[in-house]
Structure 1
Amino acid sequence: MSISVVLADDQEMVRTGFRLILSAEEGIEVLGEAGTGEEAVARSRELRPDVVLMDIRMPGMDGIEATRTLAAGPAPPRIVVVTTFDLDEYVYGALRSGACGFLLKDAGPRLLVEAVRAAAAGDAMVSPSVTVRLLERLTAPEPPRPAAREALSPRELEVVRAVARGRTNQEISGDLFVSLSTVKTHIGNIGSKLDARNRVEIAAWAWENRLVD
């Protein structure tokens, strides 16, 4: 079953680029586009996509308000904010308004596709360049939890460190010379052992336990 997507951005060239990237991927279908926050809300309610890629700075209603409006409605789509601006107020505003991901437009096609797939699967994706700053603000130093740490195998600890550094599944696969399916299995096992719901929580655990500098 295809993942359905609505693109919301006030720049037609950006929407066209996103459409070309996503339409080339198997299992992803772009249902429609919007150039304003109001249009994003209307098109999303009309087309009922699985995922909305939402810009922040748009005429009239901005992307954060549009995200908040959709998140408060019935059967809301999964929303990934995709923007040029990585200001803290935008990051926190987007996530607190109900977005499940925050991606910078210069992150590249591979991360854009992975963010869509992660959102559709109920997971979260935060642009690697934002992750470190976000975790520094959201986490406080805590004593290591040896029981949880000891439950992870050496290979799983390698995967945890890679996730905390913002590496994608594909990049982890290449770094560790294992298949993509093996990486996904490791992340699933890690999530179960740490009681972590997504990659952001796995990364937070790694930072709290000082597995990465």
Structure 2
Amino acid sequence: MSELVRVLVVDDEALVRHALRAFIADDDRVVLVGEATDGSEVAESCEMTNPDVVLMDIRMREVSGVEATRRVLEWNPRCRVLALTTFTTEWRALEVLRAGACGYLVKNSTPKQIIDAIVAAHAGDRVVSPEVQGRFVRAAIEAGDSQMSDAPTLSDREQQIIEQIAQGSSNAEIAQALHYAEGTVKADIRHINHLWNVENRLQIVLRATELGLISI
């Protein structure tokens, strides 16, 4: 059995922390190592608990999740920060992603979606809730950001993988859905990044939408 993913929860709402505690306890892939009630506690909590992934609320009383994300990465650049918030606006997501978070989930996500996202984040994936991802795409299109009229041809498998990414699926979920090894999926995503000169899953979705390969 692989080692459990160590999770620190940072949220100022007791009910949210209680729910996340229950979600994590119910899944044998993850373990809760600590909780913090504000971003001001993050650095000390990380030192004490040594998490692999920090589930981070954005709006907190003293220190916001954006600033707290920076503090986590100052403590350990290899730690993964996954924002979990009620906000679905793209600018809120951009704030925390630019601060270094590897993903952005909304709090109405299912327990499975949250735990899968934690595991995916630990594995190196970027995870963005589909509704927020859709807002990114629409905002880019409305702003006229498309600079590309054509692109290198993709294989059928790469096209399928892009469609799965647009649905918010992790690498593991894509591998299961398409019946490929997870390593194959990761290699194909790296190839897409190289072909399109992009860096992450969100940029893949934006480019694919610009090219008319998918619709959001």
Question: For the residues of structure 2 that align with 1:192 and 1:173, how far apart are their CA atoms?
Answer: 15
Indicate the residue corresponding to 1:166 in structure 2: 168
Q: Deviations over 1:18-50 (max 9, x none)?
A: 111122212211101011111223201221200
Match of residue 211, structure 2, among 206, 209, 212: 209
Indicate the residue corresponding to 1:24 in structure 2: 26
Please say which of residues 41-50 and 192-201 is displaced more in the overlay: 192-201
Question: For the residues of structure 1 that align with 2:208 and 2:185, how far apart are their CA atoms?
Answer: 13
Indicate the residue corresponding to 1:43 in structure 2: 45
Match of residue 128, structure 2, among 120, 126, 129: 126
Indicate the residue corresponding to 2:55 in structure 1: 53
1:143 and 2:133 matched? no
Report the CA distance between 1:125 and its aligned residue: 0.2
Indicate the residue corresponding to 1:65 in structure 2: 67
1:97 and 2:99 matched? yes
Report the CA distance between 1:200 and its aligned residue: 2.5
Question: For the residues of structure 2 that align with 1:48 and 1:209, how far apart are their CA atoms?
Answer: 42
Indicate the residue corresponding to 1:187 in structure 2: 185
Q: Deviations over 1:4-31 (max 9, x none)?
A: 0000111111111111112221221110
Match of residue 114, structure 2, among 112, 115, 132: 112
Asked if structure 2 preserves the Cα contact closer than 8 Å seen for 1:163 and 1:199, the reply is yes
TM-align CA RMSD:
2.4
Distance 1:208 1:72, change over 3 A: farther
Distance 1:74 1:132, change over 3 A: same
- State the SS of the aligned residue for 1:72: helix
Asked if structure 1 preserves the Cα contact closer than 8 Å seen for 2:105 and 2:127, the reply is yes
Report the CA distance between 1:51 and its aligned residue: 0.3
Report the CA distance between 1:106 and its aligned residue: 0.4
Give the TM-score normalised by the residue count of structure 2. Answer: 0.83
Q: What is the aligned-residue identity percentage?
A: 31
Question: For the residues of structure 2 that align with 1:197 and 1:2, how far apart are their CA atoms?
Answer: 28
- Give the number of aligned pairs: 205
Question: For the residues of structure 2 that align with 1:87 and 1:11, how far apart are their CA atoms?
Answer: 21
